[in-house]
Copies of this chain bind each other. A is one copy, B any other.
Amino acid sequence: MAELGPVHPTEDAVAALGPLPLTATTVADDSLWGTWLRRNAVHTLPHCVRQLHASGAVDNLRRVTGEVDGEFQNMWFADSDVYKTLEAAAWQLVHTPEDLELRSFLDTTAALLVKAQGEDGYLNSYFTVAKPEKRWQELHWSHELYCAGHLIQAAVAAARAGVGAEIVTVARRFADLIVERFADVNAVDGHPEIETALVELYRVTGHRPYLDLAARFVDLRGHGLLNPDRFGPVYLQDHVPVRQAEAVAGHAVRQLYLLAGVVDVAVETHDDELLAAANRLWEDAFGSKTYLTGAHGSRHRDEAFGDPYELPADRAYAETCAAIASFQWNWRMLLATGDVRHADEMERVLHNAIAGSIAADGEHFFYSNPLHLRTGHDGSHEDAPSQRLPWYSCACCPPNLARLMASLPGYAVTTDHSGLQIQLYTAGEIETTVDGHAVRISLRTDYPWDGRVEITVTTDAPLTLALRIPGWCRTEDVRLDGAAVDPVGGYVRLRRDWARGFTLTLDLPMPARVVRPHPRIDAVRGCVALARGPLVYCVEQADLPDGVTLEDVRIDPSTVMVNRTSVVTLAVAGSVRSADTELYPPAVDETAEPITLTALPYFLWGNRKPGPMRVWIPLS
């Protein structure tokens, strides 16, 4: 089982595609992904470990064992931050097994978990230290199964990475207790996560009761089992049975984590109705409730999805964890269906919402990821600050980023019986086997800055290589070895005898694109955004002359210049509105001064001095 990545459907699952082992893909150091992976290993992961200790999250577990005194610190679900960091450490050790500090964190924490686990298998520092009499009594708000789910995910990572065997033992003991406790009880957790975790644990262990309980948890939602308390059933994902749901709603992370579990259950139990529900909700989410950056969550209140087409740029909640959840959901949908649109959404959310949530230094993070930071922004809310912060009192996002980045290479390529599918482009090497035959693929590219990809394939048997043609790419311009391609369903599929080491050159042209919003999106009417390749661009105050306010800037996108330095920026004609006016004038007479605007990739914003930013620019 060693060295498999996250989300490995079993042989029995009904899935169109399968993942490759984590070690199959080596990302080139000097690629954009390469810098992200290195930054994650060298900065983000050690930073998370330090913060877990500094914030008291690790000490909470030591309170259970009696090593530390004092009251429980932090959010009541802070155990999950420890587990997510453990998961990240496990994935990371696949790539850097020589990282002794990380291995020490993993082993020490694993030993702590062994010690902290109760006789009966229960493990939750908050309910053990602070509320022992309430164990399992407040599931709408306790996050007990949510925390258990992240423990299980850490264990699955450890099992697949071949490290920290104790974590697997602890997680199985707890999972067995959960099965015993909930197999015949009508109860669900207010925060989904246990569903996908139990399916993954089933995949690692083959123990069917885990899968059965996951399926049960999915189907028990929407029957009013949760005490709606402060937030109500929509927030808690208890307002409608999943099979009947027509629209994504409520707390975005809860909704998207649930949907990841729904797909996992559907493929392992051959449940077409459940997969159809996931598809229906996907259509709703990506048809009217997704930001241009791939982010989700239009409302700060309840961190929630909004009404259809309610997509304010300035008040985008667009939580980092929701973006990661969308990536995870789409990965499961891609494996289940083979539909290219899921790879498109993975690429979009990864390169924009997710990549933008972390600072260039790897140690500062956004919790919400707006598409417009206003001049005069009230940054007093910790989760909507004016710049990235090193940590949060609710610290769900940073270790979530760490675990995604540590497992990122595993999402680039998929396999089926006849070949390989290149889903996400990055420079690097792929070494794997297909149908028992060794395959080696080398990708040379400067993606996402440039759309040329040179692909050398070496294998001793016929193999179908499928190359994804991204949705942002107009297919009539795509060329393979200089000839126009004819993609089917979003892929160019090549079946050849590659024995002698074939080299192909794929050209995905990357002109700057002018993107318009759907006419029902009121929030950005009269605006356009710039994009190039998979990247969304933005304009920052830092690039404007002194005295110009970002909200007065207008754009004339008829010509856009592409500038390549270490990154690709765009230059575009614009103007600055100079007429001041009352708040609701009978008419607006604007005068405007011409200006040249610089747009930079959204994921890089906020790495200079803090200041306003916007993705959608009003047309002049």
Q: Give chain A's interface residues, CB within 8 Å of chain B.
A: 232-234, 239, 247, 249, 286-288, 290, 292, 299-301, 306-310, 312-315, 372, 374-378, 380-381, 513-527, 529, 551-552, 577, 579, 581-588, 590, 616, 618
Contact = CB atoms under 8 A, between A and B. Distances in A.
Contact of A552 (B232, B375, B519, B524): B519
Given A239-B380, A378-B307, A380-B239, A584 B518 contact: yes
Contact of A518 (B307, B310, B377, B582): B582
A306 B581 CA distance: 20
A532 to B, nearest CB: 13
B309 A374 contact: yes
A577 B515 CA distance: 19
A315 B308 CA distance: 13
Given A523-B522, A524-B522, A525-B527, A516 B585 contact: yes
A517 B513 CA distance: 29
27 contacts: A232-B380, A299-B301, A300-B301, A301-B381, A306-B378, A310-B314, A312-B312, A313-B522, A372-B522, A515-B585, A516-B584, A516-B585, A516-B586, A516-B587, A518-B584, A519-B551, A519-B581, A519-B588, A520-B551, A520-B552, A522-B523, A522-B524, A522-B527, A522-B551, A522-B616, A525-B525, A529-B584
A249 B581 CA distance: 22
Contact of A314 (B290, B376, B522, B524): B522
Contacts of A517: 583-584
A381 to B, nearest CB: 7
A313 B518 CA distance: 17
Q: From A239, A372, A522, name the one whose CB has the most chain B CB atoms within 10 angstroms.
A: A522
Given A518-B581, A520-B552, A525 B307 contact: no
Given A300-B300, A380-B239, A520-B551, A375 B308 contact: yes
A438 B372 CA distance: 60
Nearest to A551: B520
